[in-house]
Chain A
């Protein structure tokens, strides 16, 4: 079945630095969602990507969907302490809402 791998699993970043987290699939994805979960919190929707090669920006966050629609990335510039949390990619499967969440990238930011 469809599975996604997120790398890295853990990212320690100095405040002000940039970092990228990746989501890779062995199968072609129809679309992919990104969620952020703060420690002790719940997943919060960030973005949806549907088109091949799509790039979307939200302030310091840049999301990309690969040309082959088998991978996606999230790049954060000038990391802030508010960026702390776990970032999940969640491709859709055969049923809308039946997402296949990755294991997430846990981000820790050092001031």
Chain B
């Protein structure tokens, strides 16, 4: 158990619907990351937060995607008007700080299937 919790673990939704994933990082971890992973591929970086500030977003994060971390603790990732290409596992990770020595721990992921 890495301590990073994600909810829901599995979500099946119809194309065009909105979905929201929640991530609770390891307690006192200042940094929180979102990745996406499709079958047979390595995880791809989406965005990350330092406390409540979203510091970087990947070009993979289209306008339909939005992530928040309002109080610097848990984070949500919302996908609006889902498309079949959004089907993937969405991974949340956290670290205490930045730089080598600050291990990044992943949660168990939230699987999204868009039908």
**Interface secondary structure of A, over-half rule:** loop
Q: Interface residues of A toward B: which range?
A: 20 to 34
- List the B side residues contacting A42 at CB < 8 Å: 2, 91, 106-109
How many pairs, one residue from A and one from B, have CB atoms within 8 Å of each other in the complex? 62
Whether A97 and B42, one on each chain, are in contact in the complex, defined by CB atoms closer than 8 angstroms, is: no
**Interface secondary structure of B, over-half rule:** loop
- List the A side residues contacting B48 at CB < 8 Å: 95, 97-98
One of A56-64, A75-83, A99-107 at the interface: A99-107
Q: Is B75 an interface residue (CB 8 A)?
A: no
Measured CB to CB, the closest approach of chain A to B75, in angstroms, equals 13
- List the A side residues contacting B107 at CB < 8 Å: 42
Whether B42 and A104, one on each chain, are in contact in the complex, defined by CB atoms closer than 8 angstroms, is: yes
Q: Is B28 an interface residue (CB 8 A)?
A: no
Nearest B residue to A45 by beta-carbon distance? B103
Q: Is A73 an interface residue (CB 8 A)?
A: no
Whether A43 and B91, one on each chain, are in contact in the complex, defined by CB atoms closer than 8 angstroms, is: yes
Q: Is A20 an interface residue (CB 8 A)?
A: no
Q: Mind listing 11 A-B residue pairs with CB under 8 Å?
A: A42-B109, A45-B105, A88-B43, A92-B100, A95-B48, A95-B56, A97-B31, A99-B43, A101-B42, A103-B41, A103-B42
